[in-house]
Amino acid sequence: MSSAPTLSPSAFELDDDHRSFQEVCRTFVARECAPRVREAEKAGTFPAELWPAMAAAGLLGVGHPEEYGGTGGGVLALAILSEELAHASGGLAITPLVSSYMAGPHLARYGNEEQKERWLRPLLEGKCAAAIAVTEPGAGSDVAGLAARATAVGGGYQLRGTKMFITNAGLADVIIVAAKTDSDAGHRGITTFLVERGAEGMTLSPPLEKLGWHASDTREVAFEECFVAEDGILGERGRGFHQIMEAFQVERISLAGMALGLGQAALDEAVAHAKERRTFGTTLSKHQTIRHRLAAASAELESARALTYQAAARWDSGHPEAATTTAMAKLVAPRVASRVVDEALQVFGGYGFIEETPVAMHYRDARILRIGGGTDEVQLEILSKRMGL
């Protein structure tokens, strides 16, 4: 090469707009979310007063159409928001992320005008919440294998089946439900439906007791001859699988962002503890084995952050390898977070094993990120296929 290659600093750093948005998110989380974490964990639910507060701060409409109350921005902004929310609590973060950024995009992309006005606008205003019900007792990552059925009847459809691990089910005003309208068409026979809270024939279990994400509401949802009118179809009949797969991409970026936030929070707490805790006549941070662990964790997190931000930026720019980088980010960031929170807990010693220290919550909250939104194994399969294997 005749001259040194040149790269824009933005290839490695957030630009001014994204840095400003990051600061908005960070300030909001410190002021409004962090003080409510312990109470939300004990109550097992999302603080209701945060919905209008997040809407007023523009944090429910990132990337959504401005004509329905969205606030602009793209996938990179969502990754930043996810990271900052999870820095406070995974359980607190996942509730609005599911509503606005995992269920919400289905309404924005596939909803008709009436559906957008009825559900998307109030959702972005913090006046209602949404959930999406795809996972079943016998079908998780294998979306095409779901067993729920939607049978055509006069004026609409009757839903039958059971959905499992549905985040926001107990507080959602509307649930987006995936069911087969054509049992013989495989993944081409899946359709998504809008089911309102309190619909006859829909039954919610009590909240599931989970290892982590204690501040989020998660339930089993059963449908037994639950009638949904024809205008309750979301998108096109038989296109539900494709709609779900498309939405999965942004969901995976959001979950990778959450992994960064959880890992960073645990690392921050471990560093502060290491500077204060004294053993053998000095602070933990003066022991090489401890400071090297923390340094390695910092390097891993920064590497995962660069990969996650790259994946998000590629979606925003229409890069042809965006899906590949997303699978990498979804694989790597949660794995890194799991290692970092484990190291952080080790630094805390016995104190990390009691609920008095937030690192115990981060330890529990991080584990699900390797499962939800497509397991490690799913991401590896995606990547191996893209390698021609």
What residues are annotated to the active site? Answer: 251
Residue 161 identity (one-letter amino acid): G
Pairing of strands 130-133, 174-180: parallel
Q: Where are the alpha helices (DSSP H) in the chain?
A: 16-28, 37-43, 50-56, 75-88, 90-98, 104-110, 113-115, 121-124, 240-276, 288-317, 322-348, 358-366, 376-386
> Residue 228: helix, strand or coil by DSSP?
strand
Q: DSSP letter string over 337-379?
A: HHHHHHHHHHHHGGGGGSTTSHHHHHHHHHGGGGTTTS-HHHH
How far apart are the C-alpha atoms of 257 and 265, rounded to whole Å?
Answer: 12
Q: Give the number of other CB atoms < 10 A from CB of residue 350.
A: 7
Residues 279-308 as b/e (b if ≥16 CB within 10 A, e otherwise) read: eeeebbbeeeebbebbeebbebbeebbebb
Residue 166 identity (one-letter amino acid): I
How far apart are the C-alpha atoms of 204 and 133, rounded to whole Å?
Answer: 12
Please, what's the largest Cα pairwise distance for the chain?
Answer: 79
